[in-house]
């Protein structure tokens, strides 16, 4: 579903990504973990097509995001670490704008978003201007927008940022349902307890390099620790 092939990226003298390769199979959730500055957001931005790598490529459902961006992005739902919302839209206008871009038939729109609006308690805010939204409201709206065209792959950069406990629980439920229906998810987070509960696989990156991948049992073997994902992460990145 998602294949990353030898991505590299420099910013002046800083090597943000160094020959990064990974894959996310269909029907699975992969946690993308690393310390601050490890390269997670840079990698996710390249995966989403917002940034070009210096080398390497990204394939989404077999489509290269550099050679066939329209086909690749049509399969992608992306939640950035910072909301990218036009502040002069109402919430419902923004969702309709997003569905216009993806050519979602008007007859299908309500069925795709109404349950998500209610799940994230966004109903009272949908006719308000998004410029007045809190960070949490903007990120909830961004997540609904990422899901509204029925993507095959979700890229979620720190998806719990700004979320209250109820929204975090709903997010976990939605992620599990998405994967159970055959979708793929790659998400970054610093909440390792949540990652351990949700993910099928973990990818750990440090200083721009992948240092460990696999299910938690494989990571325990690699780290030599029979502990939690947090214990393993701290051992491998120390």
Tens-place pLDDT, residues 104-155: 999 999 999 999 999 999 999 999 999 999 999 999 999 999 999 999 999 9
For the chain, which residues score pLDDT lower than 70?
Answer: none
Give dist(CA 220, CA 137) in Å, integer: 37
Q: So what's the pLDDT on residue 37?
A: 92
pTM of the model: 0.94
Superfamily covering domain 1-75+153-238? P-loop containing nucleotide triphosphate hydrolases (3.40.50.300)
CA distance 100 to 183: 22
Beta strand pairing status for 201-206 and 55-60? unpaired
Q: Where in the chain is the domain with CATH 3.40.50.300?
A: 1-75+153-238
Instruction: Output the pLDDT for position 224.
Output: 79
**Where do we find the tokens 């946690």?**
31
Q: Using DSSP, state whether 29 is helix, strand or coil.
A: strand
Which helix (H) or strand (E) segment holds residue 201: the answer is strand 201-206
Phi, psi of 55 (to 5 degrees): -155, 155
Give residue 148's pLDDT.
Answer: 94
pLDDT value of position 168: 96
Helix (H) or strand (E) holding 107: helix 106-119
Average pLDDT, the chain: 95
- Residue 49 has what pLDDT? 96
| Confidence at residue 223, expressed as pLDDT on a 0 to 100 scale | 80
Structure confidence at residue 238 (pLDDT):
84
């Amino acid at each position: 579903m998602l294949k990353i092939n030898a991505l590299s990226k420099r910013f002046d003298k800083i090597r943000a990504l160094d020959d990064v390769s990974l894959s996310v199979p269909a029907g699975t959730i992969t946690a993308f973990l690393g310390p601050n500055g490890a390269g997670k957001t840079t990698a996710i931005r390249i995966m989403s097509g917002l940034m070009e790598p210096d080398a390497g490529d990204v394939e989404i459902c077999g489509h290269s995001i550099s050679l066939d961006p329209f086909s690749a992005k049509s399969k992608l739902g992306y939640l950035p670490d910072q909301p990218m919302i036009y502040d002069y839209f109402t919430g419902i206008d923004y969702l309709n704008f997003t569905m216009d871009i993806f050519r979602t038939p008007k007859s299908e729109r309500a069925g795709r978003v109404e349950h998500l609006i209610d799940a994230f308690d966004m109903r009272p805010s949908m006719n308000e201007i998004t410029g007045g939204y809190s960070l949490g409201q903007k990120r909830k709206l961004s997540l609904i927008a990422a899901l509204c065209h029925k993507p095959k792959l979700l890229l979620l950069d720190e998806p719990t940022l700004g979320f209250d406990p109820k929204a975090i629980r709903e997010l976990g439920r939605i992620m599990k349902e998405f994967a159970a229906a055959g979708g793929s998810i790659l998400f970054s987070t610093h909440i390792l307890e949540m990652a351990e509960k949700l993910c099928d696989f973990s990818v750990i990156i440090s200083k721009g390099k992948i240092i460990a991948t696999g299910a938690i049992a494989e990571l325990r073997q690699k780290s030599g620790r029979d502990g939690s994902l947090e214990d393993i992460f701290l051992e491998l990145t120390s």
